[in-house]
């Protein structure tokens, strides 16, 4: 190997680069900067046009370093020469002679060695990762005292004895199925990745309330008795610029509210408990909490008197004391002819103190008291089937 051979190889690398850039657009024009997918596409193009291949390791060895200190094997040199548009490495050097350069490498090749070289060039696919133990074509000149014009005649004779194929753009009919397969796989994985991202986004949009919402549990306790309230409670959730939302808290069960808001305002009411407005900062509030409600003693007494048939005289005296003479008393009828009937204090007392099974269905809906503690408003109903009356 001579220094001129290394210079010829640098020339060959430049022409290989130009040949690839004629039909492709890699990440960099400089072949020494190619990597990854650029090398893969170059290998595909090399197999297609030169029916040969070089490994990624060899690419990094001979193309990433410039100038190189050693030549590749002769089979790789032939493949790269064919890719650049020449018949062989010898043909490439012959077309790029330096001043006063004389080709001696192939002067004394025997006929069998020439056939072996042609066979290596025509091989369908030459794998560069074959063991380095493969023998190179050994060239050992037997006569060193030839005259220059004699050497020239010998070169001409050898060239004429070789089968020289005309330079052609289409040097092979290599099937580019592998290249299409690689591209289709890349496209497939790209679409799978896009589909997965879209699926995640759709899932987040569809279940964002469940994902970002949090549940809070509120148990309501009778403040005087320190026990769970055995009655239904009306719970109104208040939000800015929105109509209140009404919920019903069942007896002896916690009220469960799911929200992603940072604050909570709710109004809790019941005929037998004083209305209370509860506000919470949900960023610091616990998930479960007991809330005490103050009982409405007057409403509870009215309920007790309406249910008990004992001591009727005592009940009349107590009711007469509790209820103001100017009290507004309403009976609500819950039927298809929905209406409200008013009555005075004495009529109401007579109604709730007369022995009757209908009193078992009497329900106090609402009561109000004045500053002195007198009941000034009573709203009640008796659950009956008015359709049959």
**Do 22 and 168 reside in the same domain of the chain?**
yes
Q: CATH number, domain at 362?
A: 3.10.450
Distance of alpha carbon 274 from alpha carbon 4, whole angstroms: 106
**Do 34 and 144 reside in the same domain of the chain?**
yes
Smallest Cα–Cα separation from 338: which of 295, 272, 387?
A: 387
**Do 223 and 183 reside in the same domain of the chain?**
no
**Do 181 and 242 reside in the same domain of the chain?**
no
**Cβ neighbours around 258 below 10 Å, total:** 10
Per-residue pLDDT of the chain (389 residues; tens, 9 = 90+): 567 888 888 888 889 989 899 989 898 989 888 888 889 999 999 999 888 888 888 888 888 877 888 888 999 999 999 998 999 999 998 888 876 666 654 444 444 444 555 555 455 444 444 434 444 444 344 444 444 444 444 444 444 444 545 454 444 444 555 666 888 888 888 988 999 999 888 877 777 666 678 889 999 988 877 788 877 888 999 988 889 999 999 888 899 988 888 899 999 988 778 889 998 998 888 889 889 888 876 667 666 666 655 667 778 888 888 899 999 999 888 765 557 889 899 888 888 877 666 666 778 888 888 988 889 999 988 876 544 44
Last residue in a domain, options 293, 309, 343: 293
Residue 219 near residue 228 (C-beta atoms within 8 A) = yes
Question: In this predicted structure, what is the pLDDT of residue 179?
Answer: 66
Residue 250 near residue 219 (C-beta atoms within 8 A) = no
- Kindly state the tokens that stand for 290: 């007991």
**Do 181 and 49 reside in the same domain of the chain?**
no
Q: Is the peptide bond before 67 cis (omega within 30 degrees of 0)?
A: yes
Last residue in a domain, options 293, 319, 334: 293
**Do 127 and 44 reside in the same domain of the chain?**
yes
**Do 167 and 312 reside in the same domain of the chain?**
no
Beta bridge partners of 279: 265
**Do 17 and 97 reside in the same domain of the chain?**
yes
**Do 201 and 347 reside in the same domain of the chain?**
no
**Do 67 and 166 reside in the same domain of the chain?**
yes
Where in the sequence is the domain holding 113, given as residue range(s)? 3-172
Domain count, the chain: 4
**Do 276 and 307 reside in the same domain of the chain?**
no
**Do 252 and 313 reside in the same domain of the chain?**
no
Last residue in a domain, options 122, 149, 172: 172
C-alpha angle 310-320-327 in degrees, rounded to nearest 5: 130
Residue with tokens 């019903």: 248
């Amino acid at each position: 190997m001579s220094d001129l051979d290394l210079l010829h190889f640098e020339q060959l690398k430049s022409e290989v680069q130009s040949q690839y850039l004629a039909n492709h657009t890699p990440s960099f024009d400089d072949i020494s900067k190619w990597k990854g997918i650029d090398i893969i596409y170059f290998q595909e193009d090399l197999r297609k046009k030169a029916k040969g291949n070089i490994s990624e390791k060899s690419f990094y060895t001979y193309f990433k370093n410039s100038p190189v200190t050693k030549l590749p094997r002769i089979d790789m040199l032939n493949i790269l020469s064919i890719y650049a548009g020449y018949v062989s490495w010898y043909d490439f050097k012959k077309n790029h002679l330096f001043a006063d350069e004389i080709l001696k490498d192939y002067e004394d090749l025997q006929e069998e060695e020439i056939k072996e070289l042609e066979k290596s060039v025509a091989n369908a696919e030459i794998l560069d990762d074959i063991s380095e133990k493969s023998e190179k074509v050994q060239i050992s000149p037997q006569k060193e005292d030839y005259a220059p014009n004699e050497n020239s005649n010998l070169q001409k004779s050898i060239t004429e004895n070789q089968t020289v194929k005309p330079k052609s753009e289409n040097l092979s009919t290599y099937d580019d199925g592998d290249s299409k397969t690689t591209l289709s796989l890349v496209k497939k994985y790209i679409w799978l990745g896009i589909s997965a991202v879209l699926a995640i986004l759709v899932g987040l949009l569809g279940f964002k309330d469940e994902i970002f919402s949090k549940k809070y549990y509120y148990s309501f306790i009778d403040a005087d008795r320190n026990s769970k309230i055995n009655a239904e409670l009306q719970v109104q959730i208040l939000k800015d610029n929105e109509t209140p939302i009404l919920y019903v808290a069942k007896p002896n069960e916690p009220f469960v509210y799911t929200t992603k808001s940072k604050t909570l305002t709710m109004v809790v009411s019941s005929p037998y408990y004083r209305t209370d407005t509860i506000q919470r900062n949900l960023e610091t509030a616990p998930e479960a909490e007991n809330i005490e409600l103050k009982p409405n003693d007057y409403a509870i007494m009215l309920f007790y008197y309406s249910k008990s048939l004992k001591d009727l005289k005592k009940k009349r005296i107590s009711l007469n004391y509790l209820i103001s003479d100017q009290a507004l008393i309403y009976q609500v009828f819950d039927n298809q002819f929905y209406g409200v009937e008013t009555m005075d204090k004495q009529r109401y007392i007579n109604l709730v103190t007369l022995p009757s099974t209908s009193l078992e269905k009497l329900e106090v809906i609402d009561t109000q008291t004045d500053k002195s503690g007198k009941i000034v408003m009573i709203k009640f109903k008796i659950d009956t089937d008015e359709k049959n009356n």
